[in-house]
Structure 1
């Protein structure tokens, strides 16, 4: 699915009244949805509206937003939520010493305020709360921690917040909540939403454990097709991803190369949204338990049926006792294994896609049994191979982004970059420094090229955090997601910047 989007901006700084207006508009738009709008991501001072251009155009979406905005009411208050906190954070002694306050006085003042949930993002359920008493404010830590424990209460400048899940972080740790803000096992997974009011209450008690990942694969599928004899490097059940979840800090996830996933499903007669397997770098070894039809669409590996090569993008039949494995290929890293009738899987918020950051699903492991949801016969040998030649360096087209500047766009187009790291979150490049910097945190579109103050460009993909505080001078052209999904560390890339 190709998506586009635009921002509606309400202010250029943290402003409670502006945030109330954008939250009122968000509520109104959610109450009166428009087909084709795929996400709404509110932040401190802007609302990002994402839409599917194959269903609706930007003019219609802007008209809808304007019509609903005229009827939005800011006087509709959010909920007030009291959260018990154990003030035992690792940084609390240092914080109170720097502020020249006793522990009790700091706790009294930090817990005595009412905080607005300006936005939810960074990680699933993470609330950006403001504003902290001016006399309590301290900057972020100079060296972020690689791992902040789940349920940590923290503070940085005018913001305070809560880490629902363990993650990296650079805020000052004050304590722990005694309730879970996010748990995918609950009927209502998220405790807080943007626009709510939070009050902290000093309490004693046990810190809850971090929730386990939600299992999506059925333990006993109705029509078993494959047993996993050996997992690959990262085998994930995906579909086209989750819609309308960005306001909770959840990523879209789903197929990293949507065009290839759609093609795989189409070749075996499935709907585009049917669950299939995304294989990354090294595929699994699968033992067939019954007869079925399958196809592999992608790059980076070649399927071997009973050790004989099967052409990618060509349907084939597996029979009971067959073994399907994958050999490496010189180009690419990712492809999709689809079966006629689709893989059986549960869903979470409308999607079967694994979300590793959100504790939804998991990679395949040895002994898993994969079932077919609704089998149907498909003729072997049916194929369609897209024209997709390997290029060195790879060329990716870029469009000007929300913080585009002539200097940044010139730097991106000026030379050849090398892929330093690449995963489902994004691709980090090395090469010519690109002008970048910090901004007020706002929604991060899929395909944004984010640039840190250090000048490092990062192409953000489907598992990216939904909010970010860095410049985004460019956006990946929607037609180049398949090429971006096949980048390997060490590969070379040139960017071609197109006019807006």
Structure 2
């Protein structure tokens, strides 16, 4: 077992194989460690987030090393049956690659005993390993841009089922109607790490639907995913979107706790600004708000109290009225509009409404996850955002009537601007050993440009590419969990800095990660800004502190 630093509040445990990774995952779920969050299994790793205030890295590493790496008995594992119509586009080609007939591939795929190793790539996408060592096929040389939902596929030693339409490079051998991902269930992912899976060949769509309906009666399935639909209703109270600007989405503090099902926490990119906006209007700090990039206009439907924080230009509520300051609560009468100019610094503004944005929660959160497709769609003109019931005893407010609450720094100041260089503290690891000293110097010794291709999933950076060590050129890294702030380096050597909607697992080496306290600053970096990475020394899992950085 190797225990590596993944961030200043996360460790990556490297094990011999997938069985050991799942065994440690099962151990932590059965006997949790105080201060440790939901672990994320990978192909032969386990990402373990923790609170440094509750447990230190060396103590956690010692606890992890003490755990027996023994899987729970097969009889205790949950078994899932997947009915499959074996008519996939790649069935004949995959069989030929194995030197088998299509019928032989189907026979061996259904005869194999499959186990869920980990869930990643997309919510509910389970990586299954089987007990047939010969059932190994390469990925397609050219990935498809569209793989239909329910496709049953093979790649390397894995099998899997695509839960929703998405791009993909696996070999498609069949289709299923089994609802492998459904947020209306208590357990949204049909398959979770440690589950046993059996594929059953069916000959018709009717037979497949019959098998699925039996599962539904047994409580293991449900209806299709609900869609959070926002419609214009001129008679309802709330705030209406007049113009959405570049992009506007609903956000809160995210849906932590679903990582085992392949769902990242998502949530606001600049969480301090979200909390400050909610405090200003008297909401709980985790209430849902609007996160906006440029040009947002909202109209009050009924009297409302709002506050704006983050990257904000001049705020206007009505011609001739006093202009509220960022972080200050203000009132809108029915029909009044809020608009604010593009900010000179930063990129994302946060608009809180007293009572909170009350769209239906999905997996316990109202946040929009653009990669996973969870929560409300990005906002459009005409959408009406319902507002919840505010806390009792809050005072009425007019412009400037109530002073803004204290916040750590004046919102909208000290944020990054295009052309300026922002220093982000990072910790190295877990895969900095894929790069030599010259590569580390390149990472920290140049300014990286934030390109316009950046979004909530990640910042794409431009600069002098980072070369891998000669022995790692062309090497593939088995999928492993990634934290928000991870600096992943694809084969072209140009880093991608993961933000809130990043994929939960990835297969490119992570050279380092932005420390947790600087992640909100990373979320405010506009295109054209520059980043300088500074290595911060944190205690290693072995108890030592590396030299070269600063604490």
5 Å-filtered alignment, 1:103-122, equals 103-122=102-121
Which of 256, 261, 268 is the matching residue for 1:255? 268
State the partner residue of 1:306: 318
State the partner residue of 2:187: 188
Residue 52 of structure 1: how far off its partner (Å):
3.9
State the partner residue of 2:27: 25
TM-score relative to the length of structure 2:
0.81
For 2:107 and 2:416, how far apart are their aligned partners in 1? Answer: 62
State whether residues 153 and 160 of structure 2, in contact with CA within 8 Å, keep that contact through their aligned partners in structure 1. Answer: yes
Which of 450, 454, 459 is the matching residue for 1:422? 454
State the partner residue of 1:128: 127
TM-score relative to the length of structure 1:
0.89
Residue 408 of structure 1: how far off its partner (Å):
3.6
> What's the CA shift string for 1:160-182, capped at 9, x where partnerless?
11111122222112221221200
For 2:234 and 2:466, how far apart are their aligned partners in 1? Answer: 50
Distance 1:38 1:362, change over 3 A: farther
Which stretches in structure 2 are left out of the alignment for 5+ residues? 1-6, 210-221, 469-474, 539-551
Higher relative contact order (CA 8 A, sep 6+): 2
State the partner residue of 1:137: 136
State the partner residue of 1:364: 379
State the partner residue of 1:388: 414
Which stretches in structure 1 are left out of the alignment for 5+ residues? none
Q: Determine helix, strand or coil for the equivalent of 1:470.
A: coil
State whether residues 301 and 333 of structure 1, in contact with CA within 8 Å, keep that contact through their aligned partners in structure 2. Answer: no
Distance 1:28 1:481, change over 3 A: same
Distance 1:327 1:24, change over 3 A: same
1:496 equivalenced with 2:496 (yes/no): no
For 1:52 and 1:237, how far apart are their aligned partners in 2? Answer: 27
State the partner residue of 2:250: 237
Most deviating of 294-303 and 440-449: 294-303
Residue 302 of structure 1: how far off its partner (Å):
4.1
For 1:93 and 1:491, how far apart are their aligned partners in 2? Answer: 50
How many equivalent pairs are there? Answer: 491
Q: Determine helix, strand or coil for the equivalent of 1:39.
A: coil
Most deviating of 304-313 and 171-180: 304-313
5 Å-filtered alignment, 1:276-291, equals 276-283=289-296, 285-291=297-303
State whether residues 446 and 462 of structure 1, in contact with CA within 8 Å, keep that contact through their aligned partners in structure 2. Answer: yes
Q: Determine helix, strand or coil for the equivalent of 2:352.
A: strand
For 2:490 and 2:293, how far apart are their aligned partners in 1? Answer: 27
Q: Output the aligned Cα RMSD.
A: 3.1
For 2:8 and 2:148, how far apart are their aligned partners in 1? Answer: 34
For 2:58 and 2:281, how far apart are their aligned partners in 1? Answer: 35
State whether residues 307 and 325 of structure 1, in contact with CA within 8 Å, keep that contact through their aligned partners in structure 2. Answer: no
State the partner residue of 2:364: 350
Q: Determine helix, strand or coil for the equivalent of 2:507.
A: strand
Distance 1:140 1:327, change over 3 A: same
State whether residues 221 and 371 of structure 1, in contact with CA within 8 Å, keep that contact through their aligned partners in structure 2. Answer: no
Residue 71 of structure 1: how far off its partner (Å):
11
For 1:218 and 1:79, how far apart are their aligned partners in 2? Answer: 41
For 2:421 and 2:128, how far apart are their aligned partners in 1? Answer: 44
Q: Determine helix, strand or coil for the equivalent of 1:261.
A: helix
Residue 118 of structure 1: how far off its partner (Å):
0.6
For 2:491 and 2:189, how far apart are their aligned partners in 1? Answer: 33
5 Å-filtered alignment, 1:89-488, equals 89-131=88-130, 133-203=132-202, 204-205=204-205, 211-215=224-228, 224-283=237-296, 285-299=297-311, 301-306=313-318, 310-356=324-370, 357-375=372-390, 376-377=394-395, 379=397, 380-381=399-400, 382-383=403-404, 385-386=410-411, 387-390=413-416, 392-405=420-433, 406-420=437-451, 421-436=453-468, 438-488=476-526
> What's the CA shift string for 1:30-66, capped at 9, x where partnerless?
xx574x4443212232322223446x23369728955
Distance 1:58 1:245, change over 3 A: farther
For 1:63 and 1:172, how far apart are their aligned partners in 2? Answer: 39
Which of 72, 75, 78 is the matching residue for 1:74? 72
Q: Determine helix, strand or coil for the equivalent of 1:424.
A: coil
Q: Which has the higher strand share?
A: 1
Residue 440 of structure 1: how far off its partner (Å):
2.0
For 1:33 and 1:280, how far apart are their aligned partners in 2? Answer: 39
For 2:52 and 2:314, how far apart are their aligned partners in 1? Answer: 33
> What's the CA shift string for 1:381-438, capped at 9, x where partnerless?
3335144154512322221121123344222112222223211111111211123563
For 2:364 and 2:149, how far apart are their aligned partners in 1? Answer: 26
